[in-house]
């Protein structure tokens, strides 16, 4: 697409879009593609390699930009490749932290003695100075689908014949 075929209004809109362009939720490659597409409408904004790199860097997400600050790049391609690499490392680190946090939470819950058959209820206490109540969980009732002990007080009515005590299976 050559910008000479666009009306002045479209060129102004594209220029404003370029000036406000930020990476946001885009990955670095998508941001670079959008940056290159819109920069054709604002050649005076990116007329040197240094200005082009500066504008690109300013639009990157803060976590990526902060790791690029202070580094010298010879050209736009070097800056772009480093930004891609930094974004990949940040994503890998985020995933590792997430996995570690999940593993740590699981280990802590196992260490505290909370198993699958007990439920911790921090909002109910036995009284002054006493710890939280740990309540036994019961099996799921076949009639009502809830957890309770003893006979079920829920009356099951068949949808087909209208009698109590059973339900027609739709399998």
- Bigger pLDDT: 126 or 163? 163
Q: How far is CA 18 from CA 2, 45, 53, 65, in A?
A: 16, 9, 14, 18
**Pair of tokens at residue 108:** 């802590």
DSSP state of 139: P
**Pair of tokens at residue 51:** 């200005």
pLDDT of residue 117: 45
**Pair of tokens at residue 13:** 């809109």
Instruction: Please choose, from the candidates 15, 75, 1, 6, the residue with its C-alpha nearest in 3D space to the C-alpha of residue 44.
Output: 15
Paired strand residues for 121: 133
Please state the rounded mean pLDDT for residues 143-152. Answer: 69
* Rg of the chain on CA atoms, in Å: 31
Percentage of the chain modeled with pLDDT above 90: 46
Model-level pTM greater than 0.75?
no
Instruction: Please choose, from the candidates 67, 73, 1, 91, the residue with its C-alpha nearest in 3D space to the C-alpha of residue 37.
Output: 1
pLDDT of residue 19: 94
Please state the rounded mean pLDDT for residues 143-165. Answer: 66
pLDDT of residue 125: 47
Instruction: Please choose, from the candidates 130, 131, 136, 166, the residue with its C-alpha nearest in 3D space to the C-alpha of residue 148.
Output: 136
For the chain, what is the mean pLDDT?
78
Instruction: Write the pLDDT tens digit of every residue in 50-63.
Output: 999 999 999 999 99
Please give the Cα distance from 29 to 124 (Å, whole number).
Answer: 52
pLDDT of residue 110: 57
Please state the rounded mean pLDDT for residues 127-154. Answer: 62
């Amino acid at each position: 697409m050559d910008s000479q075929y666009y009306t002045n209004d479209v060129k102004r809109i594209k220029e404003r879009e370029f000036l406000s362009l930020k990476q946001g939720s885009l990955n670095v490659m998508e941001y670079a593609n959008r940056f290159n597409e819109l920069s054709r409408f604002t050649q005076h904004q990116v007329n040197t390699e240094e200005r082009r790199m500066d504008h690109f860097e300013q639009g990157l997400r803060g976590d990526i930009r902060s790791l690029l600050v202070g580094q010298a790049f010879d050209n736009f391609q070097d800056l772009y490749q480093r930004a891609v690499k930094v974004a990949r490392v940040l994503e890998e680190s985020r995933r590792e932290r997430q996995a570690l946090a999940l593993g740590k939470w699981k280990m802590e819950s196992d260490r505290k003695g909370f198993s699958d058959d007990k439920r911790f209820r921090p909002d109910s206490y036995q009284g002054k100075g006493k710890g939280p109540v740990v309540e036994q969980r019961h099996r799921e009732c076949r009639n009502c689908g809830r957890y309770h002990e003893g006979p079920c007080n829920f009356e099951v009515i068949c949808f087909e014949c209208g009698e109590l005590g059973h339900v027609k299976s739709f399998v």
